[in-house]
Amino acid sequence: MKELLKVEGMSCGHCVKAVEGNVGELTGVSNVEVRLDTGEVEIQFDDSRVTLSEIKETIEEQGYDVK
């Protein structure tokens, strides 16, 4: 499954590493790509192993707002 999320608060390389690193560690997530210029995060994941809610919660735990 592929999902594109709008995320507010990301502004630098540290933000990219925080989101990509933490979401990428979730079981079932196969790819995470942060696009700072558009404020989007594209995630490919196996929805039988991880939920979109868990992914959003992980991003929010890093201090960003998922819209």
pTM here?
0.94
pLDDT of residue 15: 94
Count CA atoms closer than 13 A to 66's CA, side-chain side: 18
pLDDT of residue 39: 97
2-66: what CATH class? Answer: alpha beta
pLDDT of residue 3: 97
Chain segment 4-61, per-residue pLDDT in tens: 999 999 999 999 999 999 999 999 999 999 999 999 999 999 999 999 999 999 999 9
Residue in the block written with tokens 């809610």: 53
